Structure 1
Amino acid sequence: MSTLSLLMGRGTAGLPQAEPVDFNGLVLPPSPNAHLAAPAGATAERHETTPLLPVSPEAAWAALRMLGEGEARTWKLAEWPDRRQVQWVVRTRLANFPDIVVGQIVPLPGGSGLFLYSRSLIGYSDFGVNKRRIAEWRARMDGALRAP
């Protein structure tokens, strides 16, 4: 996949076929253009720990699936309901750079665990964009779970 084809695509066009992420075996890139939030003890590598969600995996999955809806320049790329995993592409406003955001819900004692992983497909540094995106999406997830 060439950089040019990634930049020329709109929405999900021009991206490689989506594959589910195995967070148990995920090795984070050495570059500062990715950010992973994960439940404590769920993976060897993460940038931050997500707290236990005090809801059933089904309720958390329903909220997670809707996180990208209505977000500017965000398109659902793929989802795997059996894994409770969903992926989106988010394209930058100025250069159309594609970032991939992956969310997954895992059942845990007393509730659910949330993985959110955002990574750039192009470039070495993202100037903190993926970290800020994860903070925003975590806040939206909390809001969705509090909504009646």
Structure 2
Amino acid sequence: MALVVVLVAVAGWYGWQLGPWADATPYAEPIDFANLELASSPNQYLVAPVGATPKAKPDAVSPVFAVPVDTLRDAVLAVTAEAPRFKVLDRSADGTRMVLVQRSAILRFPDYINVEILPAGQDGSTLAVYSRSRFGYSDVGVNRARVEALLADVRRRIGG
């Protein structure tokens, strides 16, 4: 009987935390990169242009793409539309700020990704990307791998 109670409790928690309504959390809201402060846990990864995140030290500096903002935005949207288990949760009117979620394959744990496309120089563009896990302390490098794969796929898509 005790096992049944435990199983029901675990199933209830799992359904509540990971069901379709679970994305209605503060994690699913756009962030302000200028005021972003990183958590102390290692389950996050930030790539940003120099000076874009004055309160948070990026893990890497964003590349600059020799394409306009709209082209970079379209490439990011296309790449995430083709990637497994990605979903757009929120987008600004011009599409340059977006919140995405990607869930793990088996247990469906959500990781939230904020992206902001920015102009760079005369005709270029760049982006800030912040990927973080909702659950757990360590992510075993998953957020870093996700951001690096996203950037590589975007480079391939725009031919840079």
TM bracket (short chain) = 0.7 to 0.9
5+ long unaligned stretches in structure 1: none
Structure with the higher fraction of residues in strand conformation = 1
**TM-score normalised over the length of structure 2:** 0.81
Aligned length: 143
Partner of 1:27: 37
Question: Higher helix share goes to which structure?
Answer: 2
Structure 2 residue matching 1:119: 3-state secondary structure: strand
CA distance in 2, matches of 1:3, 1:57: 41
1:74: Cα distance to partner?
A: 1.6
Note the residue ranges of structure 2 that are not aligned, 5 or more in a row: 1-11
Equivalent residues of 1:51, 1:113 under 8 A apart: yes
Is 1:118 the equivalent of 2:131? yes
Identify which of 8, 14, 24 aligns with 2:22. 14
**Greater radius of gyration (CA):** 2
Distance in structure 2 (CA, Å) of the matches to 1:83 and 1:71: 18
TM-score, normalised to structure 1, is: 0.87
Q: Distance in 1 between matches of 2:66 and 2:93?
A: 20
Whether the aligned pair in 1 keeps the contact of 2:29 and 2:99 (CA below 8 Å) is no
**What CA distance in whole angstroms lies between the structure 1 residues aligned with 2:114 and 2:79?**
11
Distance 1:3 1:138, change over 3 A: farther
Letter in 2 for 1:37: V
Could you tell me which residue of structure 2 aligns to residue 70 of structure 1?
Answer: 82
8 Å CA contact retained: 1:103, 1:115: yes
Asked whether the equivalents of residues 88 and 101 of structure 2 are also in contact (C-alpha less than 8 Å), the reply is yes
Q: 2:148 corresponds to which residue?
A: 135
1:3, distance to aligned residue in structure 2 (A): 6.2
> How far off its partner does 1:32 sit?
0.4
Q: Give, in whole Å, the separation in 2 of the partners of 1:3 and 1:64.
A: 33
Amino acid at match of 1:48: A
Alignment pair present for 1:54 and 2:62:
no
Cα RMSD for the two superposed structures:
1.9
